[in-house]
């Protein structure tokens, strides 16, 4: 422990850290929250407004490190429990209240398709692990169509809370290590440790952003250097009002504002690009309140917004998410202005009636134990609420699954794709009865454990051991190969295999069509997934060619999703078609009966179950014109050119004018492009006929 004599000596020898309150920092908070809110309301105009979060991270690092250092200098020690209790009183009352009210708003005002995901994310947010929940979803191919929930913005609050939990312990650890090495200067000890953290975390942020940007964006480990930058600024700050401060302040303004206006969602962020808003914020913190910029930031309008910035951040996003469900359309300018006004009003009420009273009054402020008890009880109540909510949804899904099974057991030629067969004379394409499976049950199929067990992830090149249909293979063995669109045919293949006595070997991998060409996705920031796909395809090819029991190969792919590069430098559609042709030719030469199933038509791009839920009496609003939905399938083009049989299922999705999202009382897609379990299963009858 640092002795009182040592700290008194250091206080005389060194300038006192930055004071506890600086109005320009409150103004800087206003800039940060303004960037975030305007970005969420007008993302095509304030394209890089997400850097406001980075500004908040630097400010937090600056203030918290300054407070901790000051307490160590003044008292000779740091009471970590007391520090944590202050954070609880400051942050948890408002955040838990917003989570509960947001959950109730979702239950009352939004379709049931949003409920399950919302319940999971509110629970994660209450425990301040929402960033890891979203990071996991961001790399989960089957969850890529998840829509934003009212709790999505809690990812940054989760990162901050993790910082608050670890930072004081980390600083005490740094001091302990430095004392063991004979050093007594607390400022230098902390500064040295933060410098190491800054360098290591920044380096990892750069590497991780190139490898997997979606995960890196949410990860605490790729963001901690931003807090360290603020902490380092607090420790090197000695005075304000220097002549160079004005230049420093303007450089900071330019860096932050230009980042907010120039960066886009396509920017490789965080990584090294985040240095611009981070160093800009550091420059503003170091320049102080004495500059012209600092004086503007210290004006009453700026400090007022800064004072309520935490509540603004809490309430603005739930309003943005829920309001379109109330109005029935996307936010237009009038609604956006109304949301902005409501955000300011609710934030002021939260600050006045929730944040300030519970922060200073004896109810929570009298003893740290009370704050901790409140945190445990509050988190438990919110998590209990979301757990009960999720359990109720699971029960509903179980009941719906049983009802679906019973209805499917009854022969009905107009159920599902049969409704589009003209000879069946079925009436309305959508059907006129209740849905075979309710929208929330269909949406939940993105977590189907069968497909997860049979479809390889984006990163791994290993072949999975997956067999469906008749495991004994009494009548032969076939293979189902392709990307996730082929994976969505697994229920069809399973049903077909059981009917025919076929053992079906499944070789599917997310975002990996079975071809010799290289598929290219512009959103990928490294070659890792492309290389993984190429290695997986080589392994699948070898497995099929080496397995004499496989007599038939059924292939399908989402070819319109990719750009193509071929061997010998070929590119574009020709490279894609050549890649499929080469692979099919090898299988045919090996004696395999190759069949290619046409890909599903394009949808509007939104979640189909959500669209059906929003238009229960007008499912035709979820349909897409046939001319838009049916585009060239390169795998089909390649197959036809090589005289390989094609099973074209387009007529089971579309009539002459439109392609449908609901057919014969069955929802066609479980997300924005993958077949629902029910529709896929019902295709088995039609595929069986066309195979023959």
Q: Which two tokens stand for residue 293?
A: 């910029």
- Closest alpha carbon to 687 in 601, 603, 595: 595
Q: What is the dihedral of CA 241, 243, 246, 249, to 10 degrees?
A: -70
Q: Which two tokens stand for residue 656?
A: 């002459």
- 632-642 residue pLDDT tens: 999 999 999 99
Confidence of residue 241 (pLDDT cuts 50, 70, 90): very low
Quick one: pLDDT at residue 317? 97
Quick one: pLDDT at residue 551? 96
Report the distance separating Cα 291 and Cα 247, nearest Å.
9
Confidence of residue 74 (pLDDT cuts 50, 70, 90): confident
- 581-618 residue pLDDT tens: 999 999 999 999 999 999 999 999 889 999 999 898 99
Which of 21-30, 102-111, 171-180, 658-667 is predicted with the least confidence, judged by mean pLDDT?
A: 171-180
Report the distance separating Cα 20 and Cα 28, nearest Å.
15
pLDDT > 70? residue 16: no
Report the distance separating Cα 495 and Cα 566, nearest Å.
36
Quick one: pLDDT at residue 365? 67
Q: Which two tokens stand for residue 334?
A: 């009038």
Whole-model pTM: value is 0.88
Quick one: pLDDT at residue 532? 94
Q: Which helix or strand (DSSP H or E) is residue 343 part of?
A: helix 333-350
Burial of 211 (0-12, 13-18, 19+ CB in 10 A): middle
- Closest alpha carbon to 94 in 316, 351, 339: 351
* Residue found under tokens 């030629």: 413
| Average pLDDT score over residue span 78-97 | 93
Report the distance separating Cα 122 and Cα 383, nearest Å.
8
Report the distance separating Cα 86 and Cα 359, nearest Å.
8
Quick one: pLDDT at residue 3? 41
Burial of 589 (0-12, 13-18, 19+ CB in 10 A): exposed
- Closest alpha carbon to 292 in 344, 233, 249: 249
- 477-523 residue pLDDT tens: 999 999 999 999 999 999 999 999 999 999 999 999 999 999 988 87
362 alpha-carbon distance from chain centroid: 40
- 326-367 residue pLDDT tens: 998 899 999 999 999 999 999 999 999 999 888 777 667 677
- 374-416 residue pLDDT tens: 999 999 999 999 999 999 988 988 888 888 888 777 778 899 9
* Residues 534, 518 contacting (CB under 8 angstroms): yes
SS3 526: coil
Q: Which helix or strand (DSSP H or E) is residue 647 part of?
A: strand 646-647
Quick one: pLDDT at residue 123? 96
* Residues 649, 597 contacting (CB under 8 angstroms): yes
**How many other CB atoms sit within 10 Å of the CB of residue 507?**
27
Report the distance separating Cα 343 and Cα 338, nearest Å.
8
DSSP readout, 20-65? Answer: S--HHHHHHHHHHHHHHHHHHH-TTTSTTTTHHHHHHHHHHHHHHH
- Closest alpha carbon to 133 in 111, 148, 115: 148
Summary mean pLDDT of the chain: 90
Quick one: pLDDT at residue 293? 93
Quick one: pLDDT at residue 405? 81
Quick one: pLDDT at residue 14? 44
- 155-204 residue pLDDT tens: 999 999 999 999 999 998 888 887 777 777 788 888 989 999 999 999 99
Quick one: pLDDT at residue 260? 96
Confidence of residue 144 (pLDDT cuts 50, 70, 90): low
Contacts of 48 (CB under 8 A, 6+ apart): 39, 259, 260, 261, 262, 263, 264, 267
pLDDT > 90? residue 139: no
Quick one: pLDDT at residue 11? 40
- Closest alpha carbon to 87 in 376, 346, 383, 368: 368
pLDDT > 80? residue 13: no
| Average pLDDT score over residue span 645-653 | 96
Listed in sequence order, the DSSP H helices in 547-592 are: 572-589
**How many other CB atoms sit within 10 Å of the CB of residue 70?**
17
- In degrees rounded to 5, what are phi and psi of residue 130? -60, -35
Query: Could you tell me where in the chain the CATH 3.40.50 domains are found?
Result: 448-598+633-648
CATH pick for 448-598+633-648 out of 1.10.1060, 3.40.50, 1.20.120, 3.30.70: 3.40.50
* Residues 646, 599 contacting (CB under 8 angstroms): no
- 263-281 residue pLDDT tens: 998 899 999 999 999 999 9
Q: Which helix or strand (DSSP H or E) is residue 565 part of?
A: strand 563-565
Contacts of 5 (CB under 8 A, 6+ apart): none
Which of 292-296, 340-344, 445-449, 475-479 is predicted with the least confidence, judged by mean pLDDT?
A: 445-449
Quick one: pLDDT at residue 387? 95
Confidence of residue 667 (pLDDT cuts 50, 70, 90): very high
């Amino acid at each position: 422990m640092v002795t009182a004599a040592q700290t008194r000596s250091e206080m005389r020898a060194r300038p006192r850290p930055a004071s506890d309150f600086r109005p320009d920092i409150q103004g800087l908070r206003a800039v940060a929250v303004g960037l975030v809110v305007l970005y969420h309301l007008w993302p095509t105009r304030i394209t890089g407004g997400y850097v406001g979060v980075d500004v908040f991270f630097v400010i937090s690092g600056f203030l918290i490190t300054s407070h901790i250092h000051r307490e160590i200098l003044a008292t000779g020690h740091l009471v970590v429990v007391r520090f944590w209790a202050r954070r609880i009183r400051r942050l948890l009352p408002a955040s838990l209240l917003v989570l509960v009210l947001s959950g109730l708003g979702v239950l009352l005002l939004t379709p049931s398709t949003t409920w399950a995901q919302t319940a999971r994310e509110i629970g994660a947010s209450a425990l301040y692990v929402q960033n890891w929940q979203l990071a996991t979803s961001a790399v989960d191919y089957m969850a890529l169509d998840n829509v934003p929930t009212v709790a999505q913005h809690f990812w940054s609050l989760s990162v901050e809370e993790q910082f608050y939990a670890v930072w004081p312990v980390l600083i005490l650890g740094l001091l302990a290590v430095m004392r063991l090495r004979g050093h007594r200067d607390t400022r230098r000890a902390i500064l040295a440790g933060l410098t190491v953290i800054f360098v290591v975390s920044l380096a990892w942020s750069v590497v991780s952003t190139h490898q997997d940007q979606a995960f890196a964006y949410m990860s605490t480990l790729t963001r901690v250097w931003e807090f360290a930058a603020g902490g380092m600024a607090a420790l090197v700050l000695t005075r304000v009002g220097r002549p160079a401060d004005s230049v420093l302040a303007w450089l900071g303004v330019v860096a932050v504002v230009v980042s907010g206006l120039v960066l886009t969602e396509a920017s490789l962020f965080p990584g090294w690009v985040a240095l611009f808003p981070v160093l800009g914020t550091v420059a503003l913190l170091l320049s102080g309140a004495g500059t012209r910029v600092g004086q503007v930031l210290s004006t009453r309008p700026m400090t007022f917004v800064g004072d309520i910035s935490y509540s603004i951040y809490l309430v603005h996003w739930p309003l943005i998410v829920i309001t379109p469900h109330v109005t029935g359309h996307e936010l237009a300018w009038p609604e956006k202005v109304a949301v902005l006004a409501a955000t300011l009003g609710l934030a002021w009420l939260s600050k006045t009636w929730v944040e300030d009273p519970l922060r200073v009054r004896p109810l929570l402020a009298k003893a740290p134990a009370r704050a901790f008890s409140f945190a445990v009880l509050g988190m438990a109540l919110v998590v209990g609420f979301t757990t009960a909510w999720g359990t109720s949804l699971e029960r509903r899904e179980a009941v719906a699954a049983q009802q679906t099974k019973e209805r499917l057991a009854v022969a009905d030629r107009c159920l599902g794709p049969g409704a589009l067969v003209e000879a069946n004379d079925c009436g309305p394409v959508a059907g006129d009865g209740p849905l075979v499976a309710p929208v929330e049950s269909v949406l939940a199929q993105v977590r189907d454990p069968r497909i997860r067990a049979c479809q390889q992830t984006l990163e791994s090149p290993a072949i999975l051991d997956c067999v469906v249909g008749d495991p004994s293979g009494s009548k032969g063995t076939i293979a189902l190969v392709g990307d996730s669109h082929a994976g969505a045919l697994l229920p069809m293949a399973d049903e077909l295999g059981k009917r025919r006595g076929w053992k079906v070997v499944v070789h599917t991998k997310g975002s990996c069509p079975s071809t010799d060409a290289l598929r290219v996705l512009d959103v990928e920031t490294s070659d890792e997934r492309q290389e993984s796909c190429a290695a997986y395809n080589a392994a699948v090819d070898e497995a099929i060619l080496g397995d004499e029991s496989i007599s038939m190969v059924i292939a399908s792919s989402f070819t319109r999703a990719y750009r193509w590069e071929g061997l010998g430098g070929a590119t574009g559609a020709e490279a894609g078609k050549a890649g499929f042709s080469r692979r099919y030719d090898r299988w045919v030469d090996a004696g395999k009966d190759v069949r290619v199933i046409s890909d599903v038509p394009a949808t509007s791009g939104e979640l189909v179950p959500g669209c059906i839920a929003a238009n229960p009496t007008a499912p035709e609003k979820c349909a897409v014109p046939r001319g838009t939905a049916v585009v060239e399938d390169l795998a089909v083009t390649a197959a036809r050119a090589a005289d390989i049989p094609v099973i074209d299922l387009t007529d089971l999705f579309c009539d002459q004018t439109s392609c449908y999202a609901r057919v014969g009382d069955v929802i066609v897609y479980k997300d924005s492009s993958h077949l629902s379990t029910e529709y896929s299963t019902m295709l088995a009858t039609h595929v069986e006929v066309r195979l023959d």
